Structures are given as C-alpha cells and as structure tokens.
Amino acid sequence: MGNYQNSVNTKDLDSRYFMQAFGRDQKIVKGEGSYVWDESGKKYLDCVAGIAVCSTGHCHPKVVEAVCRQAKELIHISNLFYVPNQAELAEKMVEISGLKGGRAFFSNSGAEANEGAIKLARIITGKKKFVAFVDGFHGRTCGSLAVTYKPAIREPFEPLEPECTFVEYGDLKALKEAVDDDTAGVFVEGVQGEAGIVPAPEGFYEGVRKICDEKGALMICDEVQTGMGRTGKWFFYQNTSVTPDIVTIAKGIASGLPMGALVAAEGISFKASEHGSTFAGGPLVCAAALSTIDIIEEILPSVSEKGDRFAKGLSAHNPRFCGLMIGIPVGEEKCKDVYEECRRNGVIVNCASHGTIRLVPPLTISDEEIDKAVEVINAAIDKTDL
Ligand SMILES: *Cc1c(COP(=O)(O)O)cnc(C)c1O
C-alpha cells in the first residue's frame, strides 16, 4: 500500500500528551471495504468496524464522493439557517423509522441523542424520573451516564441527574414495579451491545410498551448500536410489533462521521428554543448519512442471512446474535487471548462485557469474508482452549 504516516512517536506522544482514558496499543492508518491496515502494512479483516460505526465498510466510494462534493460546496452553516441535506435526511429518518407523522432532530453522538431524549421525555410528560436496565449502556455524558448501568463508570461521577432506577433486563414484573407516576421514560436496547450482545427475550418489547402505556411513560428505544440496519431491519423494534415514542440513533448513521439523531412519534417534539446544537445536523454529516442510507437500502435484505452465516459458522461456541451483532461467550480469562490470536491472524474482534467476543462488522461484509473470519475466530478459540 505504501505511503504510511510515520508514527514512530505515536505511542510516546499519546502517553505524554493525551489523557489516558483509552487502553490501546496499535495504530490503524488505512481502511477500505471490510479491511484496515496498520502502520507496518499488515492487513486485517475488520469485524468491529469502529464499533458498529462503519456500516458501509471503510471509505465506501459513494460516501467519500458525497462528503467530498459537499465539502466543496459548504462545510458548515449555523442552524440559524436551513441547512443543505438536513430536511431531506429528516424526511428519510421518519420514513425508515416507520413513525408516521413523526419528526427528527440531529445530534453529534449517541450520548447526545440520549440527552435529547431525556429532555424531550421530560418536557412532553412533565415527569422527572427514568427507568433503565441492568447492563444497559446509553453513553458517557452526565445525563446519559445517569441511565447507564455499569457502576464502575457511573458511580465515580455521582450525583448524576436524572434519577434512574435499574431493573433486570427482560424482567417485566420488576419493570412494572419500578415505573411510577413520576417516570418520564424507559430506556431500552433491543440487543444490549456493550453488555456482550444480549438480545431482548421474546415478548419483552411488547411488555415494556404495555407498561409504559399504562403509566404514561415514554418508551425510548436506544438504537445507537442496533439501528441503521444492523439487526436486519432499519431498527430493532421493527422485528417486534412495537413502535416506540422516541428512537435514538448514532453509530452506523453516517459511515463514520460523527452524528446522532432522535426520531419521535407524532406529537412528540421540541418547540422553539427547547433544544439546540451548534454542529448537529450540518451539511457534511447529513450528506454522509443520506449516501449511507442509499447504500444500506440495497444491502438491508441480506443482513439477516449474513448474521445467520456467522452464527452457523461459530455454532460450536454458542454465539448469541441478532443480524450482524454477534457475541461469543468465551469467558473473562480467555477474551483477551482470543482477541490477540485473531489479531495475529489478521482479524479484528472486540472484547465486550462478561467475557464476550463481539462482532459488529460492516453490513457490506461478503460471504467469503464471513467464512474467513469464522475460520480464524474458531481456530483462535480452539487454540486458547488447549
Ligand atoms: C455507543 C452507544 C451509545 C453512546 O454513543 P456515543 O456516540 O459513544 O456517545 C449509546 N447507546 C448505545 C446502545 C451504544 O451502543
């Protein structure tokens, strides 16, 4: 490939000048389709895709073209003006979400989309509190962190707002007890991603919807990881009979440009000056999102089959999966070893919570690439079993 950035000093500079909040030891300098390259020129099949972000693969030519075209026209204009591509994207988001009569709003990340949902649920219901689930993840900003379960990342920053009660994922009886007359909303993931790919049990979404309706709380589906086609539908809830009040979206929406969104059902909307953001929904990210949606539209029908192909190939190791979200429970002790062995053999995987190898590859991954990944991952797990 040639032309790699000279990064002899990266590790040194990072350790000296960058706040050491991330654990990492490798530099990636190039991506194309399902592959990335490190600075030595070694090629990897990327089954993590920026953690479900690079939905159309790395540097998809159509996305690159759309971004370059827009960059030459107008990179930023304030939301004091109508923004090129923004209304078109809002229409598209409402259409693919199936929330007829609904509206969209944009943000710069998943956490911010959830911040927006917290504000929207409060202003619409006039209520204050939230309920979320054990092992659920909704972001790292103060509000989104307040509804995120993991004590190790949340507790050092308490007190946090809003007040949130956590109940076991899938436990409708506990949920019914936790949702009260001052509950503004329930945050739920269709597949818990950070927790290690834990799909909602059968009937769970229907039960959450019913409890929310009974108590006048909003059902907020966090589709930051599951959305934009990853589970085989545009959004996970479209695999169920439920429609949410608010959907939050980010990761896969713009093929790697920083963007998030909320889409809310008819009648659930911010009014003048109730919300805002300087960068959100700018011309560049909206262009990237529109081209991303065009690409995903074509491949969406194949996502479930690709997920099945992965799961079938990995069946000896009891994967949990939903579309192209695959979790292989290998145990805390082995996770890092499996990750290292895969990396050595040119496949990038990720260790999620509870000793789970997580795969969230590009939705554009081919059957041959899936078979290659499966072969390497199976061998890595078998080898670390010895
Ligand atoms: C990643 C993630 C978030 C946070 O998104 P950021 O863009 O990192 O702020 C929120 N919810 C879920 C389900 C996620 O997977």
With a pLDDT cut of 70, the percent of the chain lying above it is 98
189 lines ligand 1 (CB under 6 A): yes
Decide if 130 contacts 185 (C-beta within 8 A).
Answer: yes
pLDDT of residue 4: 47
352 lines ligand 1 (CB under 6 A): no
- Residue 131: strand pairing partners: 165, 186
pLDDT in tens, 311-330: 999 999 999 999 999 999 99
Give the ranges where the chain is alpha helix by DSSP (H).
10-17, 49-52, 61-73, 86-97, 110-125, 142-146, 151-154, 172-178, 204-215, 283-313, 332-344, 367-385
> Which atom of ligand 1 lies closest to the CA of 260?
7
pLDDT of residue 385: 80
Residue 134 three-state SS: coil
Residue 163 three-state SS: coil
Tokens at 92, concatenated:
């598209």
Decide if 134 contacts 187 (C-beta within 8 A).
Answer: no
With a pLDDT cut of 90, the percent of the chain lying above it is 97
C-alpha to C-alpha distance for 290 and 338, rounded to whole angstroms: 37
pLDDT in tens, 339-365: 999 999 999 999 999 999 999 999 999
Domain segments of the chain: what residues?
A: 2-59+301-385, 63-293
C-alpha to C-alpha distance for 291 and 285, rounded to whole angstroms: 10
What mean pLDDT is predicted for residues 279-290?
98
At residue 292, what are phi and psi to the nearest 5 degrees?
Answer: -60, -45
Give me the amino acid identity at 156: P
What mean pLDDT is predicted for residues 127-156?
98
Residue 40 CA to ligand 1 centre (angstroms): 31
Mean pLDDT for the chain overall: 96
Tokens at 31, concatenated:
């991506």
> Which atom of ligand 1 lies closest to the CA of 141?
9
pLDDT of residue 383: 94
Cα 138–chain centre separation? 10
At residue 113, what are phi and psi to the nearest 5 degrees?
Answer: -60, -40
Residue 113 CA to ligand 1 centre (angstroms): 9
Q: Which fold has domain 63-293?
A: Aspartate Aminotransferase; domain 2 (3.40.640)
> Does the pLDDT at position 7 exceed 60?
no
Tokens at 142, concatenated:
């103060």
pLDDT in tens, 184-237: 999 999 999 999 999 999 999 999 999 999 999 999 999 999 999 999 999 999
225 lines ligand 1 (CB under 6 A): yes
C-alpha to C-alpha distance for 294 and 301, rounded to whole angstroms: 13
Tokens at 71, concatenated:
């960059």
Q: Which fold has domain 2-59+301-385?
A: Aspartate Aminotransferase, domain 1 (3.90.1150)
pLDDT in tens, 32-76: 999 999 999 999 999 999 999 999 999 999 999 999 999 999 999
> Which atom of ligand 1 lies closest to the CA of 250?
7
Nearest residue to 247 (alpha-carbon basis) of 257, 258, 256, 237: 237
